[in-house]
């Protein structure tokens, strides 16, 4: 799952720090993630993992780090990690 999240961030996150230089806990907003890029990434995550982010998860904290994104996707689809592998 982490590899898929990293790939989608690379493709849609428009980060000024390369994803491969970020740890799973690094602040993505400090790495250049904007609210617009977070939405683009969220849409890509929904498609990749066949989930839909509820309004309650549409907040900055949900996309603050790769770990936070993974936790959100895992809550939405516990089997997503197996599908993304």
Here the tokens at position 36 are 């617009």
81 compared with 24, residue with greater pLDDT: 24
pLDDT band at 85 (very low <50, low <70, confident <90, very high): very low
For residue 13, count CB atoms less than 10 angstroms from its CB and return exposed for 0-12, middle for 13-18, buried for 19 or more: buried
Mean pLDDT score of the chain, rounded to an integer? 93
Task: Note the pLDDT tens digit of each residue in 9-50.
Answer: 999 999 999 999 999 999 999 999 999 999 999 999 999 999
* Fold held by 2-84: 1.10.1200
Region 72-83 average pLDDT: 77
Q: Where are the domains of the chain?
A: 2-84
pLDDT score, position 77: 87
Percent helix, strand, coil in the chain, to 5, is: 60, 0, 40
User: Which residue has tokens 């683009």?
Assistant: 40
């Amino acid at each position: 799952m982490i590899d898929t999240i990293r790939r989608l961030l690379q493709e849609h996150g428009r980060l000024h720090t390369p994803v491969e230089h970020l740890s799973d806990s690094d602040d993505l907003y400090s790495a250049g993630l904007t609210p617009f890029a977070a939405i683009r990434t969220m849409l890509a995550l929904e498609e990749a993992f066949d989930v839909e982010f509820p309004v309650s998860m549409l907040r900055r904290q949900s996309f603050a780090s790769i770990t936070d994104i993974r936790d959100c996707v895992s809550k939405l689809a516990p089997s997503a990690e197996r599908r993304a592998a």
